[in-house]
């Protein structure tokens, strides 16, 4: 009886190990993309909720002797969005922050505006009532829906 393994047995074992490793690496890459989209969608939803909350509590970043009208989240480009406050019948804009999506992610549609007025509540939407964040055409997507009453929900696919 011989000790050890034959060359054929070693080749078969290495082939099986390579196949299993390839499947694992592909799954890990897909998981990473899905998580990046999820985090970005949740971050955008958080900014919408911040705008809604600041509007409801009337946090005023406007200059002295001005009236706060509301807060807005604007999808400015495929990768950038802006949180602003508006004062004096929407004649004065105070940019609170400008944020970028993580590298490799995009908004499906741009020029979307979600405005949360003080006093009346709700939301005024221009350009569409949902925001879609995606990594590529067939990749994972995160959808942030905003109802007319201002409710914000996130669906991750």
pLDDT in tens, 69-119: 999 999 999 999 999 999 999 999 999 999 999 999 999 999 999 999 998
**Core vs surface per residue 129-153: b (16+ CB within 10 A) or e:** eebbbbbeeeebbbbbebeeebebe
Residue 55 pLDDT: 94
Dihedral angle over CA of 65, 46, 99, 104, nearest 10: -170
CB 100, CB 39: distance < 8 Å:
no
CB 51, CB 116: distance < 8 Å:
yes
Confidence of residue 27 (pLDDT cuts 50, 70, 90): confident
Rounded-to-integer distance, Cα 115 and Cα 5, Å: 71
Give me Rg for the CA atoms of the chain.
24
| pTM for the predicted model, two decimal places | 0.83
Rounded-to-integer distance, Cα 157 and Cα 115, Å: 26
Q: 7-156 maps to which CATH number?
A: 3.55.40.10
């Amino acid at each position: 009886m011989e000790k050890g393994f034959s060359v054929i047995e070693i080749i078969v074992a290495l082939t099986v190990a390579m196949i299993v490793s390839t499947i694992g690496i592909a799954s890990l890459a897909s998981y990473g993309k899905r998580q990046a989209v999820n985090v970005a969608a949740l971050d955008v939803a958080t900014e919408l909720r911040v705008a809604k909350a600041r509007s409801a509590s009337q946090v005023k970043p406007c200059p002295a002797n001005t009236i706060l009208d509301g807060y807005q989240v604007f999808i400015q480009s495929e990768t950038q969005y802006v949180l602003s406050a508006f004062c004096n019948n929407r004649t004065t804009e105070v940019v609170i922050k400008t944020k970028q999506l993580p590298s490799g992610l995009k908004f499906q549609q741009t020029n979307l505006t979600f405005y949360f007025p003080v006093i009346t509540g709700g939301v005024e939407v221009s350009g569409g009532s949902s925001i879609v964040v995606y990594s590529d055409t067939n990749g994972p997507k995160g959808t942030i829906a905003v109802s007319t009453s201002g409710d914000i929900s996130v669906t991750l696919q």
